[in-house]
Chains A and B, each alone.
Chain A
Amino acid sequence: MQNNNPLSPHIQIYNWNISSLISISHRIVGVINIFALTLICFWIVAIFFGGTTYEIIQRILESFFGKFLVIGITWSFSFHMLSEIRHLFWDMGYGFELKISKITGTVVIIGSFILTILIYLIGRQLI
């Protein structure tokens, strides 16, 4: 017999909190990173096609869109890495207390931006 009773609302009404937000972002960013890695592979492969191809890609990367892409990817890697470290601690059984998980969650979010800025500055040899 098919149950025709309605399904109670779920994601439509449930409050978000830091942990659930980071969890879903971790997944989305993970998928983005796969594409980013593929792009980086293409970039390296481009060297084999000689200087002109490499230069074209270089020009794209130096445009506004390219810079946005590079900084975006830097952030997505930073975020994924920090969030994964948080997961590693969880897998060892630490950090499950609500308060601590909230603090580590905030650290992941703020840390991902700080790490992005740091990598940018180091990459530009400004520090």
Chain B
Amino acid sequence: MVQINLPENSKIQKGEYYKDKTGSKNIRKVNVYRWDPSTGEKPRIDTYEVDMNNCPSKVLDLLNKIKNEIDPSLAYRRSCSHGVCGSCAMNMDGKNGLACTKSHASIKGDINIYPLPHLKVLKDLIGDLSTLFKQYESIEPWLKNSKKDDGKENIQSRKDREKLDGYYECIMCACCSTACPSYWWNGDKYLGPAVLLQAYRWIIDSRDEERKERLKKVADELKLYRCHTIMNCTNACPKDLNPAKAIAEIKKMLATNY
């Protein structure tokens, strides 16, 4: 159901203010969403003054700097720091993206950092993505092919392979799904852009033999048709992919009995 307001336990309080101790002249204020499961307090926004003279270019560098030099209690996911693993997806300056590829110079004014929207928070910037991964599992994201293993490659024409371009690159960072208002209101039933893009990626794979079953499975008023082409997914994708188009292609396939 659509619930615009945050529940009572999620209302955000004013947090602590960490004044700069380096005496630097080049300071930026960074507002970070904090929530500690051990205290039972409501979430808060902590503000850090960060010395930008000694800070590399990305938002993740900024967070690392805060964690290393100012407040070690800050929790966030990160791994590859090159936009490949999708761990450090978060909401920066009102838009979802990867902290490791988002340049902080592109943000004007104070830098606001929140976890991915409309998720249960585990701690600070870490949201609970287990529903999304359950949904991912439900579309059975693996090749279904009855061919016996004869020790040879499963050959795909160059043209068929090209159809996967723009879809196989998805790293499942969940930026798109958590940017989607439809997914906010119906996240338990609607599959969301990330999972539907993956579904499409398997539907159009020429080596897969269960296209019809896959299409039938996804053709559902709630699972698929909650997409109203709001385009927040495509706007958010840090890999410049187009989940909205993938969903539209699935709808088109179903409409034309492909």
B-contacting residues of A (Cβ < 8 Å)? Answer: 3-15, 17, 19-20, 23, 87, 90-93, 96-98, 101
Closest residue of chain B to A19 (Cβ to Cβ) is B231
Q: Flag if A10 contacts B184 (CB, 8 Å).
A: yes
Q: Would A20 and B181 be within 8 Å (CB), given that A6-B35, A8-B116, A13-B91 are in contact? A: yes
Which single member of B4, B95, B252 contacts A11 (CB below 8 Å)? B4
For the complex, is B127 an interface residue (Cβ under 8 Å from A)? yes
A4, A11, A17: most-surrounded residue (chain B CB, <10 A): A11
- Could you say which interface size class chain B belongs to? 35 or more
Q: Flag if B115 contacts A8 (CB, 8 Å).
A: yes
Residues of B72-120 at the interface with A, using a CB-CB cut-off of 8 Å, are: 91, 93-95, 112, 114-120
Q: Which 9 A-B pairs have the closest CB atoms?
A: A19-B231, A15-B94, A6-B10, A10-B117, A96-B245, A10-B118, A8-B115, A5-B120, A23-B230
Q: Would A19 and B232 be within 8 Å (CB), given that A13-B91, A14-B179 are in contact? A: yes
Chain A residues near B112 (CB-CB < 8 A):
13
Which single member of A4, A9, A23 contacts B117 (CB below 8 Å)? A9
Not counting A6-B9, A91-B252, a sample of 9 additional A-B residue pairs whose C-beta atoms are within 8 angstroms of each other reads A8-B114, A11-B184, A19-B229, A19-B231, A19-B235, A23-B229, A91-B248, A97-B242, A101-B231
A110 to B191, CA, bound (A): 34
Q: Flag if B117 contacts A17 (CB, 8 Å).
A: no
For the complex, is B7 an interface residue (Cβ under 8 Å from A)? yes
Closest residue of chain A to B5 (Cβ to Cβ) is A12
Do most interface residues of chain A lie in helix, strand or loop, or is the interface mixed? loop
Q: Flag if B242 contacts A8 (CB, 8 Å).
A: no
A5 to B37, CA, bound (A): 7
Q: Can you list 23 A-B pairs with a CB-CB distance of less than 8 A?
A: A5-B35, A7-B6, A8-B116, A8-B119, A8-B120, A9-B10, A9-B33, A11-B4, A13-B94, A13-B114, A13-B117, A14-B232, A19-B229, A19-B232, A20-B181, A20-B230, A20-B231, A23-B228, A23-B231, A90-B229, A90-B248, A96-B234, A96-B248
Chain B residues near A9 (CB-CB < 8 A):
6, 10, 12, 33, 114, 117
Closest residue of chain A to B243 (Cβ to Cβ) is A96
Chain A residues near B235 (CB-CB < 8 A):
17, 19, 98
Q: Flag if A14 contacts B95 (CB, 8 Å).
A: yes
A99 to B98, CA, bound (A): 21
Q: Flag if B91 contacts A14 (CB, 8 Å).
A: yes
CB distance from B170 to the nearest CB of A (A): 16
A19 to B229, CA, bound (A): 8
For the complex, is B197 an interface residue (Cβ under 8 Å from A)? no
Residues of B18-77 at the interface with A, using a CB-CB cut-off of 8 Å, are: 33, 35, 37, 42-43
Q: Flag if B231 contacts A7 (CB, 8 Å).
A: no
